[in-house]
Amino acid sequence: MKIITFSDIASLKITPSECSKWAEEAIAHKSRALLPPKISMKPSDGIFCNVMPGIIPADISPLGHSVGGVKVVTRYPDRNPSLDSKILLFNADTGENLALMDGNFITAMRTGVVAAHSVKLFAKKNYSALGIMGLGNTARAFMLVLAETDKRNISVKLLKHKGQEELFAQRFSGCEHLSFEYVNTPEDLVQGSDVVVSAVTYAPEDFCRDECFGEGVLIVPVHTLGFTNCDLFFDKVFADDTGHVKHFRNFGKFRCFAEVCDVLNGEARGRENDSERIIAYNIGISLHDINFAAHILEKANNAVNVDMHEPVIKFWL
């Protein structure tokens, strides 16, 4: 069994385009995978441990055989970083353990990439104003992918928090098609934005009043927090998995609901006009992590003359 560290993954020079491809693969083939419900344990306020199993069938696995995995992700607010994850990968045909892999790169990249995919799929055609709150690695991964795959001029509002907004803008200062401004409150961020992406990991109540959300806005709350009022009056709600949202107190009140995979595969309608308000709950499913991990293991197995302990990846902060 291989032990694959964060630095090992970094040395493989994985590109945002590769990550986008892996995420779309996973989304498109969701119905083919075995995906038991995620187990979420919350021993105290602000702390959680999520256990996420899954199996990808052989014909859509990059390893040529059925591959399974179990991801464990924890959040402890006083730890640095607060979020941490590990992935156990195994051959689902033989039971052989294949790798124990650091999951932090995968967690941030697949989460950011899936958020970018939702923007591509659900944002109105000519969007130009983007708001981002929660400016850690997930938000940076999202911005990295969006900046590479969408070259339109975008005005980006960042919610101020402990100077993170300045570091975030500095990280992307070389992207000439992006301009940044800083705002003080979530309402300042949401008002006037065509797309809002939130990677905030803790929000005890909703961020904004209903009237802050303009026509045509897309909300992508990565951790599902802070926008429950939108459930009641937004035109459409999408999620990566019905099981992840069916316990929401407003689930039965959604005006229109479908899974993202069904929209991608043409089995459900996505955005139909530029006036629709849409919210996309991409909580994250183990299939994304397992597919990423399988591709990373394949790259590691095929790597030639790569020092697995010399990180050369340039886009990670």
Q: Could you read off the pLDDT of 120-154 as tens digits, one per residue? A: 999 999 999 999 999 998 999 999 999 998 999 99
Give pLDDT, residue 310: 39
Residue 304: pLDDT band by 50, 70, 90 thresholds? low
Q: Could you read off the pLDDT of 223-269 as tens digits, one per residue? A: 899 999 999 999 999 999 998 899 899 999 999 999 999 999 999 99
Residue 159 has pLDDT above 80, yes or no: yes
Q: Could you read off the pLDDT of 5-19 as tens digits, one per residue? A: 999 999 999 999 999
- Could you tell me the two tokens for 35? 């995906």
CA 43, 45, 47, 50 dihedral sign is positive
- Could you tell me the two tokens for 70? 């179990």
Residue 263 Cα distances to 27, 223, 269, 289, angstroms: 10, 21, 6, 21
Give pLDDT, residue 129: 98
Residue 117 has pLDDT above 60, yes or no: yes
165-174, 284-293, 305-314: which has the minimum mean pLDDT? 305-314
Q: Mean pLDDT, to the nearest integer, of 81-91?
A: 92
Q: Mean pLDDT, to the nearest integer, of 44-55?
A: 93
CA 198, 203, 208, 209 dihedral sign is positive
List 40's β-bridge partners, or say none.
50
Residue 215 has pLDDT above 90, yes or no: yes
Give pLDDT, residue 164: 96
Give pLDDT, residue 237: 98
Residue 309 has pLDDT above 60, yes or no: no
Element (H, E) at 2: strand 2-4
Give pLDDT, residue 66: 97
Residues 6+ apart with CB under 8 A from 217: 190, 193, 194, 195, 196, 277, 278
Give pLDDT, residue 5: 95
Q: Mean pLDDT, to the nearest integer, of 179-200?
A: 97
Asked whether the beta carbons of 273 and 69 are under 8 A apart, the reply is no
Cα gap 23→130, rounded to integer Å: 22
Residue 314: pLDDT band by 50, 70, 90 thresholds? very low
Give pLDDT, residue 281: 96
Residue 188 has pLDDT above 80, yes or no: yes
Residue 214 has pLDDT above 50, yes or no: yes
Scanning 194-314, the segments in alpha helix (DSSP H) are 230-233, 242-245, 260-264, 286-302
pTM of the model: 0.88
